[in-house]
Amino acid sequence: MVFRTSGEEQGKAVRETVELMEILEEHAFGLLKEKEFFGGEKVNMVDLAYGVMGRWFDAIEECSGVRVIDPLKFPLFCGWAERFNEAPVIRDNLPGRKELVDFYKRRKTEILTGRKKETMADVKLLGTWPSPFSYRVIWALKLKGIDYEYIEQDLFNKSPLLLQSNPVHKKIPVLIHGGKPISESMIILQYLDESWPETYPLLPADPHERALARFWIKFAEEKLVPAFMIFRTSGEEQEKAVKEALEVMEILEEHAFGSLKEKEFFGGDKVNMVDLTYGLMGLRIVPD
């Protein structure tokens, strides 16, 4: 249950597991002071029964971010688990640790998202193909595993739903969650991150890194779209837009993308909200 729960419920599950482990350490694994396995030199049915605890507990602990089995507190169990995992036949028939961890990470996300689905009101996205602003929201919804209904909008003939939902700008994307509309792609991303914090956090946990992420998001909001007016202008106006776009790109290359020398994405090895913010540049400026 340590794996399937969070918060207070998880705290209770951890306490219960520790109590159980204390009993096992004293009374069951306590029998192993003089022998390798419950079966003596070879594993027997008792070893097979407890066998799941070694590799599986370890993987589950890693995915939950909670360590229950402290080797200093449970040395007899840990010693036995190591011997069991290396025992003939068992060793060749254990799932790999990495595969198991990856599997439980996926399961954890499904469990948390599934639970959210039960309680969440319906989510709708008003978008237009191929608006890069719609894509920002689609990426975030998919990364967080949130089920949603996509409602394509005709921007040449705006629907009453769009006009009602975003009466100020009358633009897509609009997210409608439980009947309540939210406009502006980056505001939507922040809303999604606050409403579904457990699955795939989009902003760093560290306050300084979070501030830096917000800085680059604000920079994009202020500079990116105006700079890329190249597509909407011509002549002198376009030359000005090209100059502005180059200036913005130089700043980004040095200060924003320059920070990516040691990591793959702004989010490290996974994309985060900053990556999603700038993702539209790829869509907009890289030809097929």
Ligand X SMILES: N[C@@H](CCC(=O)N[C@@H](CS)C(=O)NCC(=O)O)C(=O)O
Q: Which residues bind ligand X (CB under 6 A)?
A: 128, 131, 133, 155, 170-173, 184-186
Q: What b/e readout covers 181-210, taking b as 16+ CB neighbours within 10 angstroms?
A: bbbbbbebbbbbbebbeebbbbbbeeeeee
Closest to ligand X by CB, 78 vs 276, is: 276
Shortest CB 218 distance to ligand X, Å: 13
Closest to ligand X by CB, 140 vs 172, is: 172
Closest to ligand X by CB, 13 vs 203, is: 203
Closest to ligand X by CB, 155 vs 260, is: 155
Closest to ligand X by CB, 137 vs 143, is: 137
Shortest CB 166 distance to ligand X, Å: 8
Cβ-closest position to ligand X: 171
Sheet with 174-177: list strands edge to edge.
Answer: 149-152, 123-127, 174-177, 180-183
Shortest CB 187 distance to ligand X, Å: 8
The DSSP secondary structure of the chain, one letter per residue, reads -TTT--HHHHHHHHHHHHHHHHHIIIIIGGGGGS-SBTTBTS--HHHHHHHHHHHHHHHHHHHHT-----TTT-HHHHHHHHHHHHSTTTGGGS--HHHHHHHHHHHHHHHHHHHHHHHPPPEEEEE-TT-HHHHHHHHHHHHTT---EEEE--TTS--HHHHHHSTTT--S-EEEETTEEEESHHHHHHHHHHHS-SSS-SS-SSHHHHHHHHHHHHHIIIIIHHHGGGGG--HHHHHHHHHHHHHHHHHIIIIIGGGGSS-SBTTBTS--HHHHHHHHHHHHHS--
Shortest CB 270 distance to ligand X, Å: 22
Shortest CB 151 distance to ligand X, Å: 13
Shortest CB 124 distance to ligand X, Å: 16
Q: Six-digit token pair at 116?
A: 């959210």
Closest to ligand X by CB, 68 vs 276, is: 276
Closest to ligand X by CB, 171 vs 177, is: 171
Shortest CB 282 distance to ligand X, Å: 15
